Amino acid sequence: MHRVAGGPGSHYGLSVAVDTGGRIAFGGLFGEEVDVGDDHFVNPNPESCSFDAVLAGFDAAGENLGSKQNGSASTDAHLTELHFDPADALFVTVYLDDALSVRLYAGGEQTWEWKTDQLALGRGALAGVDAVLVGAWPGKDVMIDFGGGPLVGRGDGDFFLAKIRR
């Protein structure tokens, strides 16, 4: 199997995951336009050097199962992590200019999302029925509540580790 996704501008493949049946999930960034199979996506704000994210699925033979764009005219999007859980639901970490989002997709449809506008940068992983997040704290004395009560940053170089029930 060999596939190319591309078009005008810069493109970056960032993450890939394979489920138990051999289906492939692919995540990447594009600066202007990207074609994935028959799907064509355009970054609505390329002049600001922003990127949009694309999430695509392929069957075990490499045939395109569909794709979707993440981002908007006002938001730079980065798709950073892809993992399949034991039931073959796809776990995705996306960060936008102003928010961090972790999402679960089953059968091509989004079935769950946890999102915060208190953070914009992080990575996620699956831990049984939970999602575990790690990332950069936004600054000294900044308060964030992950759902278990507020936490306050102690310095400018802090990080966070949080478990989110899904």
For the cut 90, the answer to whether the pLDDT of residue 25 exceeds it is yes
pLDDT of residue 18: 96
Sign of CA dihedral 80, 84, 160, 115: positive
pLDDT beyond 60 at 42: yes
DSSP secondary structure letter of residue 89: P
**pLDDT the model gives residue 58:** 92
Average pLDDT over residues 34-51: 83
Burial of 52 from C-beta contacts in 10 A (0-12 / 13-18 / 19+) = buried
Q: Looking at per-residue confidence, does 87 or 80 come out higher?
A: 87
Is 30 exposed, middle or buried (CB count within 10 Å of its CB: 0-12, 13-18, 19+)? buried
Per-residue confidence (pLDDT) for residue 129, from 0 to 100: 83
The one-letter code for the residue type at 86 is P
Q: How many CB atoms lie within 10 A of CB 25?
A: 21
